[in-house]
Structure 1
Amino acid sequence: MLLFVSAVKLVAEIALMALAGQFLLGLLAGQKRDSNLFYQLLQVMTKPFVKGMRLVTPKVVIDRHMPLAAFVALAMVWVVATITKINLCLQIGVEQCR
């Protein structure tokens, strides 16, 4: 169970960092962000999470807000996974969690 929770937490952390990087690079690159290689790489990394968020949100939410919604959802997943990992480590002993 600890391995599963750690894996979920790790995937959420990677996706959160990719979404944050995509946002910051989009601010720096401006209108030319779509031709930026690193922006495209981050976009490929975050596409499954953004498309998954599109599937669970109503059509009223515009596509431009999907990365922000995915970021918020992943942040909640990360918080839940962190709390669960802490609880598991307290139950089985802190020494076994290292």
Structure 2
Amino acid sequence: MALSSLFSAGSLLPLTRLTVQGAAGALVGDSAAQLAGKAREFAGKAQQLRADAASAVRETTATNPFIALAAVAAVSFVAGAIWRAGGSRRNDQ
């Protein structure tokens, strides 16, 4: 993922529009509009982060499939160990 894609005008325009709503709410004194603007701003940032992470995972998987497979195996092993440890305590009750 290139830094130029993070700072392109197209990716900043939706965030600018969302911060305008929060600023307008602050200017008018409408806390509900200000809160809605902040909530939409955070939702937009979260959506952008999710898209960036998905693209990074896709690129890494395409270039290094064995590393991706090892990472999935490690996460599965840890999840299985946690599941098993939690299962023994449930039967003791």
**Superposition TM-score, scaled by structure 1 size:** 0.34
* Greater relative contact order (CA < 8 Å, ≥ 6 in sequence): 1
Higher-Rg structure is: 2
**Superposition TM-score, scaled by structure 2 size:** 0.36
